[in-house]
Structure 1
Amino acid sequence: MEHREMKGGIKVDERSMPPDYSTKAENKREDTEDNRDKDKYQIIIHKYSQVKAKKETLGSSQLPTESRNRGFPLVNWKWLSLVLITSFLLVFGILLTVILTSEFLPIERITEKDKPTIIYDRNNKEYAKLRKKLYEPISMESLRKKNPLLIDTIKKVEDQRFDHHSGVDYYSLARAIYKTLFSDKTEGGGTITMQVARNVILENLEQTLGRKLKEIVVAWNLERKYSKDQILEAYFNHIYYGNGIYGVQLAAKIYFGKDLSKDKLTPGEVAILVGIPKAPSGYSPYRLTKDQTGKTGIERLEERQKIVLSIMARKNDMKPLISEKERQFWSQAPISIRPKTDLLEYKRQVAATPFDTLIEAEIEKKFPQFKVDELNASGLKIYTNIDPKVQTAVETALQNDRLFTSYQNQLMPREKVEAGVTVIDPHDGSIVAIGGGRNFQPKLTRVRALDKHQPGSSIKPLTVYGPVIHLRKFHESTPLQDESLTVHGKRIQNFEHEYYGHVKMKDAVKYSLNSATVWLLEKHLGVDVAFDYGKKLGLPLIADDKNPSPLALGGLTRGVSTKDMAQAYSVFLGDGSYYEAHIIREIRGFATDEEEEITVKADYEPIQVFDRQTAWHMLQILRGTVMDSDGIRAARLAGREVAGKSGTTQNKEKGWFVGLTPNYVTAVVVFNEYQKDEKLNNKKYEIIGGGAPAKLFYSIMTDALKNTPPQTFVKPKGIENLETPIQQIGISGTFIDGKVKLSWTPSEKGVKYKLARSDDGYFYQEIAKNLTTTSYVDSIPKGGGILEKVLSFLTREKVYYYKVTALYPNGRNDEKTGTVSVTIPDQSTNEEKPSDNGNGIFDWLGF
């Protein structure tokens, strides 16, 4: 074997060197720096530590130029260094970014993330406390006092080295990675601290590198800032148990009926509470359906309990917590879980109320100081107008199936027929109660009181009768014409498919005569005026509603809600004005970008629509609609005054009743949930306003006004009472010998009279003035034009209306009037009748 001796007496076996290395000793040194680099290369490959001190012996100049470019070129080392440095800086930058951006809410302020919104009623008592999460906190001191086994079991199952690591258990993390990569099993490497960071602090379950890095950084920060007990307490109070339950304390109360601060859990119960969070939905004891494993929730929970009991009895990094005998006993013992009704009772604490939609809308519109993304986590104190007594009455009535009977007196099931209710205090527009519906479920169903429906005849006092009293000075005894009409190609029909000729206005309202209402709208009001009044009253009308059918009969394009109708009808109890319906009185809380709590009160001004006289007259007409002997009997309250109006939509698919008492305005709608064009299960129930809606009103007001003294409608000063028709001058008239002889009772001395005649009861033409006598003879003109002859031939009679008015001296304005109608009998018997000569009526008419 050949050896080459180097300086210092060290021999090197040339055959053991790389082929090109043997030539190095023979070459001359040319470049000291290259020589030094190549010597390093030689030492690394052959690990001859002794050569380290003799690096200068072999010069790089002895290496051929082409030999330098083979193997591992020098330039690759530079690129490798650059890549390594860049990668290091990139990772460092990512970590630094994560650290700098991983700000988190301190544990002691975690509850502020779910600070409940407290809703107060009109008596300033707490009505509802809305939380984002359903949980009850408990301290570690209380847990350790009564249930130390629960604390130790959580550690043993979830994080055995919890008391020793600094937030991240690197051993468990490495083991989890290894098992995930090199075996069929997967294992989590997260610690209890990391779970607090992920589920409580970050509330982010995304499976991304950025989220994981944030989780690790937050876990480190938690361990640095807080004690192990503080971290564990946060874990126990916010861990998810399924069914909307957060925290071990509430889970124990719902599942076992135990308070962990007072009651001790059995090992079997401990195993359940520790086991459920691994898969809350899968292990839910209330899940009766089978999942993909083919098992119910309780079946899977039994399996999970056995696994946890085995871990409790096993020795690992922690000593066994129970004996093998105990494990066997509790593994075989049946699981006892409280009924689901306990869960439902607790869930009422975080459930939405029927008012949530209204509250959120009002905050946005009237309280812009408070930005509310989630009402049940806003932390606001909201003082409302809710009256618990009235609200309870509404909810009770909606759940009383006996009140829901059809026109044929059939019980209407809640699956088919729904309802909505709004009750308003007309004195300030405050909403005191809302009926979400017969099937209302918080967060799952919409509030039916806010649904839009065609109002039917309940719109008539708002858009026709109220305005015509206001503008035309009509009153309850003003005669209307109820006759067959055709509007836009559609024949107007009454509910009973009959027409009643001349009727008083109060009767047209009471009997909800469609024809008379349309006649009144077209002859004496106009659709533009009616539309404007509807808009003034806050009804959500659109341009398509500007025609007789929507405005006189309630066939609106988009419809109205019970809130809209209750608000509008308040005008008749408010001397002609109303307030915008609202539910919030005051809000206290932290405004956007404010550090101190502020208080903001609602401010609403009355909206004037009618005068006081119009409001009172309309209220009296509506009172007769209910209180008269032939009024809506189902809506009458014993010993109390009630006014109201019913409404029924086409084909009796929906029914309305808007009722007024001196205290409240209540709007009720009952409607078929499924329309006739539904393919399956489409039975439709006939509903009228005087039926189920009126019964609901009766039930609600009976309970709401219980133990309160009866009140009456108070007439404003200076307004005439309309319980009897305004007929201050008694006038009579008879037809004799082609003349109408009129006479009336004298009013006062020195008074003169004027007399007017009308052929329709509305438009009068003056025929005499400054009469000093109390009688007058009116000569009825004979003959007339073609139209008069045709009418005479067809009807054989005609009616004239006469009005006498007292004219007081000195321009007094409190004039008295009297009206009378006189029927002119058939006069054709004394005339030559048309002969049947082939021309018939045309000869008689003079053609």
Structure 2
Amino acid sequence: MKKPKILATIKQVQTRKLATHASLPSRSKHLSRSKRKEKHSDGSRSKQKWKKYVNWKILLALICLPILSGSIYLSYLISKVPENANAELQKPDSPSTLADRNGNTITKIGTQKIEPVKLDDLMKVNPKLPATLIKVEDQRFWKHDGVDFWGLTRAVFDNLKGRSGGGGTIPMQVARNMVLDTKQKTLQRKVNEIVSAQKLIDTHKHEGVLEAYLNYIDFGPTIQGVQAASKFYFGKDLIKTPLTDEEVALLVAIPNNPTRLNPKGNEEQKTNAKERRDWILQKKMTNSEDTPAVISMKEAEIATEKPLQIAKDEQNTFLNEFKIKSHGAYIDLVRTELKERYGITKEDLRTNAYEIKIAIDPEIDKTIENEIKNTHFEGDSKTGTSSDLNSSFMVMDRNTGHILALSSGKDYIPGGLNWGVTKQQPGSSIMPLAVYSPYLEFHKDTNEYTPVGTTPLAEVVANSSGYVATRLFENEITVNRGVKFLQDTFQLSLEKKDLESPSAIVTGDLFKGYSPVQMAQAYSVFPNNGKLMKVYTILEVKDNKQNKIEPLPNQEIEPNQSNAHQVLSTKTSYYMTRMLKGVVENPKGPDKGAKIPGFEVAGKTGTTPNKRSGWFVGFTPDYVASAVVFNEPKDGKQGDTKVTGDSVAEMWGKIMAKVVKNSDKHRFEKPADVPEPIAPMKLQNFDISISSEGTSREIKINIIGGSRDSNVTYRVERVDSKGKYLLVTEGAADSLKDTFAPVDPNSSNQKFTYKIIAKSKDTSVIPVVVEKELTLQKLKAPSPEREKKQPDSPPDQNTSKSDNKKTDSEDEDENQEKPNPGNGHQEGSEEMEPTGPKKPINPTHSTNPTN
């Protein structure tokens, strides 16, 4: 009953609170006049304070001043625009001059093969070509007055987003390359382009500017304009023969980057060219925005499925127009070096009249070109028809790094592939760089006499055993250290795929490989006592006012390279020179053809595993040269004519004999701080024979000649019926017997094969190995007590004499041939130790004795 009373009391209290709150006066209504005035006064003071700090006149001046200054500066830039935009669009060339090392002019450089074509004539036969070019280079060409401001704006935003954007219209490109002189990326140049482009359209109309663009556009170092390009790549005259859709797309694709998109280049370049061609077919030629589509989607799909179709050289009747009479490959290399070291472009060469002195020896270069053209390679038919084989040859001055000559095969055409700088698998010619140099460098006490197994290092170098070289690379050098050594010392980088297989690095079976220029530079370390000479072609560049042009930063090369980096010790480089000289002087080796009468020669052949290319890289006291013979790819396929290293060495020797004829140095000089390697004591050579004594089934091994020193022992092994090597005995020369040979008393001429290894207690002495098949004459009739069959192999050497009494079953077991874990007589194989208390020598090679 108390609960309702409580609720009533609460309700009364709430009612009184509400009444009291309602009776209170409003705050706003009861504010005093002074307070309201004070509040209003504060707002006015705030506005006055803001006005005090902001002066509208000053603000307006700050906004207008940059605009006014920019307008004045823009007017100034426009006033500086050349007045020659109205000139005829046939700018005269001012080509540059090339002079040889003696200052004699060789040729002009920068001139290009150009054949102007009228737009009207082109539209009659090949209307798709200009239409496609416009879609790729300047889609709104017919709608703007020389400058596409919408395109420029879009390009700016693309650049801000990290995407490459063009924005340069066809008239702007014509202005840049045919009207204006400077190529510097400045605001003045951009203003010049814009103003000049508009003037060009006013003067020559769209058709005239498009015609000029079609005739000047670059397709390579010596090819300019669509007509010359069509003849070079397709063997077609544009005003007579229509191009296919895929040919149109390819022709429009190339100018974007003529080197990277070279359809006559290597496989990577061809792949790049096809990718851009297909992109143009699918995305541009089918696009109907701004201008009608050139082809349908179905036509694009059909064209995209087709491979690159380039006219075969032997079928292209126009190619003779593009050939350079001489020094073509060398001049191509000069162009590349001018761009890389001096920033001078093809267009600069064509218009700025530079005078360029280069390191070429014209006589040597011409000699090489003639020899290559007249060389009869293996696989060439006797009637003179050439096989797929081609070659490249490079010669450098080892004292300076000057490239004296460069050949790119029998018929080099500018714009084609320069084989002198094209990478190929080097085969075993890489071994002195990747294996033997680091092996010597990391093992200071090693020299040519140091045994690798049972074989002297010099002989290992000459044998080119991939098995032995791989063991050294993996175990003695280690792969990581070897890869770094190859890259840091010889400037020979590897692809990621190469790192997956150490044996591929060692044998030169690389993913891309190296060019003749790279290999010659690497080998130059040996005759230069461990210093790496940078190879180069350009000695001096002057502008048309005789001012010397300096190379770009970090591209300077001192004359004679007195500051060349010491990348290899003088000891290693000299010992490598000695061993490579021995390789050439070996009368039985494949490198012997490189010998030059009266001159010392060092070098190494190299053959790829598939025998599709062969190398010889070598040097004389004054020159380093590299030669490669290879199957030239045709129609996307490489030929399979076999190439041997000895034929390349022979070609190298024949050419270099003419190169060195005026050289004063005939012999390699030993560095003063390097001792001559000392040959260790050499065991005497020996021969062997076998004989039996009376009716005994013991075979006596007779050592004929050889050493009788107490420090020398002879290890005897016999090949059993399964081809395995069984340890027979080991001891002094006059105590060698095989008491367990399976001698047949009824055989008149039983044959046994023995391998005898003579070794010294001094481990630095190279063992002498003799292996022979010998005939044992028929024994006398045996006595009855010796009728029991003799075992084929000796008893366990760990068994004492007291243990030799065995049961019949045990004797039967002994009569069976014991298996031996040795690998037999394969070259480079490592024989395992047979059972027994004595540890045998593990020869890696078996050699016949030499006299």
Larger Rg belongs to: 1
TM-score normalised by L of structure 1: 0.49
